[in-house]
Amino acid sequence: MIRSEGTTESGVPPPQVRRRARLRGSFGRSGAIRTGEAVIGGVAFLLLLQAVLGYNVFDPVFWNRFQRTLWQGFFGTLGYVVIVLAVSLVLGFLAGWARLSRLRSVAWPAAVYVDLFRGMPPIVLAIFAFLFGPLFLPEQYNTQSMGLLFAAFALAAHSGAYQAEIFRAGFQSIPRGQVEAAHALGLSPPQVMAFVVLPQSVRLSLPPLANELATLVKDTSLLGALGAVEMVALGQEFNQQIVIFGGQLTWVFGVWTVIAALYFVLAFAVTRVLLFVERWFRVPGMEGVAA
């Protein structure tokens, strides 16, 4: 039987070809449309806000004075975002997995961690970590920058507690019969996790996980209260310079408009990446249940 390239003998494209086509088609079109809608909506809101409050965020004099401070704060925020997202995902995954362990010595500490960190405000955790974290290190490492790193880890631990429950729900969504069948076929526990549990649980965990990570991106602004070099702290410092050294008071609106827009870009980028991963793992007709 003659078949075209990229199809099976029955004429049906193999799964990997269908998956790539789905990503190029559905994700490409919907992603472009959604991004375009976000840009248009953001620009329209910006123009309306400027008309109501009477400022111009595109003022060249404003940008000449603000751009250096802005980009310094942006890259500082970006660095903290990368650290916090990576650490929180690792903590959330491990804690969620540990909570399902049959060993009490593993499940109980994970449950205590989740309940404790979910019940405390993130700013309180960051302050404690900033003040006391460096004290456990040698004296040469007892610096403000190290304290800020501990504070970032505290924010990651706070979000990791919420992510642990997200991952736990994903793991529990897998029917027990599938796991038992995999063990009966001779798969080891790591193989069961890699080939049976993870592909399904990750797919189901991604939508709520995207919401939590978008919130975490914005929570990094709390580090500005501790002296971190990030957008909110430097934006507030620039506003004080406007009052002290001169400048248009309407620039204050421009500062927070630009900072808000950049936080939106970061959060939107994170959610789009997770949406891409979600569509990569998606099984047609099995979006709401485990495969």
Please indicate whether residue 47 or residue 263 has the higher confidence score (pLDDT).
263
Please indicate whether residue 39 or residue 259 has the higher confidence score (pLDDT).
259
**DSSP line for 79-93:** HHHHHHHHHHHHHHH
Q: Would you list the domain boundaries of the chain?
A: 55-281
Asked if 131 contacts 59 with a C-beta cutoff of 8 angstroms, the reply is no
Please indicate whether residue 11 or residue 35 has the higher confidence score (pLDDT).
35
| 176-195 burial: b if 16+ Cβ within 10 Å, else e | eeebeebeeeebeeeebbee
Give the mean pLDDT of the chain.
84
The per-residue pLDDT for 224 is 93
CATH number for the domain running over 55-281: 1.10.3720.10
The per-residue pLDDT for 40 is 84
Q: What is the mean pLDDT of residues 104-132?
A: 94
Measure the CA–CA gap between 251 and 254, rounded to whole angstroms.
5
Please indicate whether residue 250 or residue 209 has the higher confidence score (pLDDT).
209
For residue 14, give both structure tokens.
């193999």
**Residue 244 neighbours by CB under 8 Å, 6+ apart:** none
| Type of residue at 45 | F
Question: Does residue 75 carry a pLDDT above 60?
Answer: yes
**DSSP line for the chain:** ----TT--TTSPPPHHHHHHHHIIIIIHHHHHHHHHHHHHHHHHHHHHHHHHHT--TT-HHHHHHHHHHHHHHHHHHHHHHHHHHHHHHHHHHHHHHHTT-S-HHHHHHHHHHHHHHHTS-HHHHHHHHHHHGGGGS-GGG-SHHHHHHHHHHHHHHHHHHHHHHHHHHHHHTS-HHHHHHHHHTT--HHHHIIIIIHHHHHHHHHHHHHHHHHHHHHHGGGGGGGT-SSHHHHHHHHHHHHHHH---TTHHHHHHHHHHHHHHHHHHHHHHHHHHHHHHH--TT-SSS--
Question: Does residue 290 carry a pLDDT above 60?
Answer: no
Q: Which has the minimum average pLDDT: 27-31, 36-40, 147-151, 167-171?
A: 27-31
Question: Does residue 14 carry a pLDDT above 60?
Answer: no
Percent of the chain whose predicted confidence (pLDDT) is above 70: 86
**pLDDT tens digit sequence for 180-218:** 888 888 888 788 888 888 888 888 888 899 999 999 999
Please indicate whether residue 52 or residue 30 has the higher confidence score (pLDDT).
52
Q: Flag whether the pTM goes above 0.85.
A: no
For residue 175, give both structure tokens.
């029917």
The per-residue pLDDT for 44 is 83
For residue 240, give both structure tokens.
């004080």
